[in-house]
Structure 1
Amino acid sequence: MPGTSSFHQQVAADKRAAILTAATTLFGTRGFARTSLAQIATAAQVSKATLFKQFPTKDALFDAIVDEAWTPQVRPSAHPDPTDPETGLRALGTLYADLVGQPGMAGLFRLVIAQAPSSPELGRRQFDLGKLPFFEEVRRYFRAAADAGSLDVEDPTTAATQMLGMISSFVLWPRMFLTDWNPGASAVAHAVEEAVLTTLARYGRR
């Protein structure tokens, strides 16, 4: 029955979410190397067989945490138009702010930083699997806009770094140090808008 199938799918999704939450917490408190899959199963209140079926290794589990954090909940159906950089940059900036502003993102960054001395590979995988694909999307947009003649950009990598850096400096990094940092939607939108306007002032065609 369709209803039964939907029920089982929801149960599986709930268990997966519980596993990822428990793993993120234990990796951050106990350390990646000192945390076992069995301990994560206990904390998530699932059987070891259930956990091993989805995540046979801790590496696979960490990669899933990264993928979950960097997968947008809502993504525009079409790629931003490179001939309209104000709209395109605003869309990409808003998406980035939504990603780095979610509560779990700060926890992921703290986890990676805390475990860097003993598990430096976590930082590399967080970057390669998480931020880099999104950064490449923004960099490609700057290149496309330059090719379309709507932006004057010689170095898309620098341009992408500058715009995303302005957004993360307001949305993400204060949250790393201030547990009560939680700017509202209007404040985040303002930060994105200022980053876009500053970028257009620097790279817009005159």
Structure 2
Amino acid sequence: MSRVVPTYHQRVAQEKRALIVTAATALFLELGYDRTSLARIAERSGVSRATLFKQFPTKAALFDAIVTEAWSTAEEEDPPPAGNVADGLGVLGRRYAALLGRTRMTDLFRIVIAELPRFPELAQAQFVHGKMPYFESVRSYLLAERAAGTVRIDDVDLAATQFLGMISNYVFWPTLLVPGWEVSAERVAEVVDEAVRTTAARYATPGPSTQD
């Protein structure tokens, strides 16, 4: 896939955007969403208020950007092709585990959980701009596999939820809730592989795609 090389001004804008997002995330954790002003974020990030307001006119827009970037994957990561459900789910599972392993992802969930009673819209933003797009990518992949005849799935939404849940319940939620909890890269790989095997055993039609 060809990639467009950003101009100097685009690179500067991207760098400032990254500074703003990093500063905002830290301040939301330190002070809470309500007590963090855009002016304070501009000061912490070292950019002018005009620059910050140009990119993020409201605090809600900034939080949406934090969510979107926390869940973003590299541009070259196209959906895996249908035809081998074990291989395809392996790709999606490893991507999901990598997303959940980001420090910013843990920070994001902590912000949402802490502010949920007063700002339920933050949870909505996390769901709409974050979790749901990735869930949809898994759902679309399973639909493609069903169309190719490699799986038999009546409820694709449930199957996608099951697959992602097997991964997040081991590699993410304990890390978020239990101080000092760590999962090694080797263990993460084992968890993903087991989620793939379990899903394939449940839904794959007999054929090469079900073989180890």
When normalised by structure 2's length, the TM-score is 0.88
Between the aligned partners of 2:147 and 2:9, the Cα distance in structure 1 is: 49
Could you say what secondary structure the match of 2:151 adopts? coil
- Deviation digits for residues 154-179 of structure 1, max 9, x if unmatched? 10011000000011112211110234
Q: Comparing 33-42 with 174-183, which one deviates more in the overlay?
A: 174-183
- Are residues 198 and 75 of structure 1, via their aligned partners in 2, closer, same or farther at CA, if it must alter by over 3 Å? farther
Could you say what secondary structure the match of 2:73 adopts? coil
- Are residues 76 and 168 of structure 1, via their aligned partners in 2, closer, same or farther at CA, if it must alter by over 3 Å? same
Following superposition, the deviation at residue 180 of structure 1 comes to: 3.1
Match for residue 172 of structure 1? 172
After TM superposition, the structure 1 = structure 2 runs for residues 1-206 of structure 1, keeping only pairs within 5 Å, are 8-73=9-74, 75-77=76-78, 79-206=79-206
What's the C-alpha RMSD, in Å, of the aligned pairs? 1.7
Structure 1 runs (4+) greater than 6 angstroms displaced: none
Aligned sequence identity (%): 51
- Deviation digits for residues 91-138 of structure 1, max 9, x if unmatched? 111111111111110110110011000100000111001110110111
Q: Comparing 154-163 with 175-184, which one deviates more in the overlay?
A: 175-184
Between the aligned partners of 2:16 and 2:142, the Cα distance in structure 1 is: 40
Q: Say how many residue pairs are matched.
A: 201
Following superposition, the deviation at residue 144 of structure 1 comes to: 1.8
Structure 2: gaps spanning 5 or more residues: 1-5, 207-212
The amino acid across from 2:20 in the alignment is I
Could you say what secondary structure the match of 2:117 adopts? coil
Q: Comparing 27-36 with 50-59, which one deviates more in the overlay?
A: 27-36
When normalised by structure 1's length, the TM-score is 0.90
The amino acid across from 2:95 in the alignment is L
Between the aligned partners of 1:75 and 1:120, the Cα distance in structure 2 is: 34
Following superposition, the deviation at residue 7 of structure 1 comes to: 5.2
Following superposition, the deviation at residue 12 of structure 1 comes to: 2.9
Could you say what secondary structure the match of 1:176 adopts? helix
Between the aligned partners of 2:17 and 2:39, the Cα distance in structure 1 is: 15
Could you say what secondary structure the match of 1:81 adopts? coil
- Are residues 185 and 73 of structure 1, via their aligned partners in 2, closer, same or farther at CA, if it must alter by over 3 Å? farther
Following superposition, the deviation at residue 31 of structure 1 comes to: 2.1
Structure 1: gaps spanning 5 or more residues: none
Between the aligned partners of 1:80 and 1:155, the Cα distance in structure 2 is: 21
Could you say what secondary structure the match of 1:92 adopts? helix
- Deviation digits for residues 51-73 of structure 1, max 9, x if unmatched? 11111111110111011101113
Between the aligned partners of 1:148 and 1:56, the Cα distance in structure 2 is: 45
